[in-house]
Structure 1
Amino acid sequence: MTSPEPRIPGPDHPITIEPNPERIVVRVAGQVIADTSAALTLREASYPPVQYIPRRDVNVALLVRSHHVTHCPYKGECSYYSIPIGGQRSVNAVWSYEHPYPAVSDIEQYLAFYPDRVDSITHA
């Protein structure tokens, strides 16, 4: 089986990645899951912006890798993690492109969180 050919972001499907100067804090069940001043903001087409947080700034001991995997034609294979302390709501709450396509390679070693699967994602 061969991997699908990556699509390249362009005018019909723009993707930009920029450093976010704000401090981003993610909380679940009263615990800080992530705290960073080195997030990247990914903007893709008409989707809401997503904060990608460096893995080094995430308490990965609170995450459990799931078997769920998806594929994005622009970013590549996506792995998911659950946050057990968040209960059922926090299943597959975190995602990561561990080997992203070259056009979005800046997000390698970064994690993103679904806002509705954590208690809060604050920007300060």
Structure 2
Amino acid sequence: MPRAVWNGAVIAESDDTIKVEGNHYFPLESLKREYLVESGTHTICPWKGVASYYTIEVDGERNVDAAWYYPDPKPPAARIRGRVAFWRGVKVMPTEQERARRAESPRGLLARLLRT
């Protein structure tokens, strides 16, 4: 199950993520809201629309604007409505399927050979 982790805390965890441009978008109900504070930051993506941000706070440390979402995405990005993605040091742990696929990729095989 993919999960987003920062500063030792699981910020989100769900089997229902959508991957867009390399980012896992987690459903809102999977978020640990106690770690998120609404930010006043907004950015614009030409095809997704206006993004809003959350700052993540864990154990007194802040990761400013480390999560983003599109409250009203444009039609081509409608499937990420109600979902949040992460960056700025938030680690998104891959699913077992992704781990297996990476291990069997040419790059994964080479890495395993070099370790032996």
Same fold (TM over 0.5): yes
Within a 5 Å distance, the mapping from 1:51-70 to structure 2 comes to: 51-70=24-43
Provide the residue aligned with 2:92 in structure 1.
121
Whole-angstrom distance in 2 between the partners of 1:84 and 1:58: 13
Percent identity for Structure 1 against Structure 2? 30
Whole-angstrom distance in 2 between the partners of 1:112 and 1:73: 17
Which structure has the larger Rg over C-alpha atoms? 2
CA shift, 1:60, in A, is 1.8
Conserved 8 A contact 1:91-1:117: no
Provide the residue aligned with 2:8 in structure 1.
30
Q: Which has the higher helix share?
A: 2
Provide the residue aligned with 2:58 in structure 1.
85
Deviations 1:33-76 (A, max 9, x none): 11110000113xxxxx1110111111122100111111111111
> How many correspondences in the alignment?
94
Conserved 8 A contact 1:41-1:51: yes
CA shift, 1:105, in A, is 0.4
Provide the residue aligned with 1:5 in structure 2.
none
Provide TM-score, normalisation by structure 2: 0.75
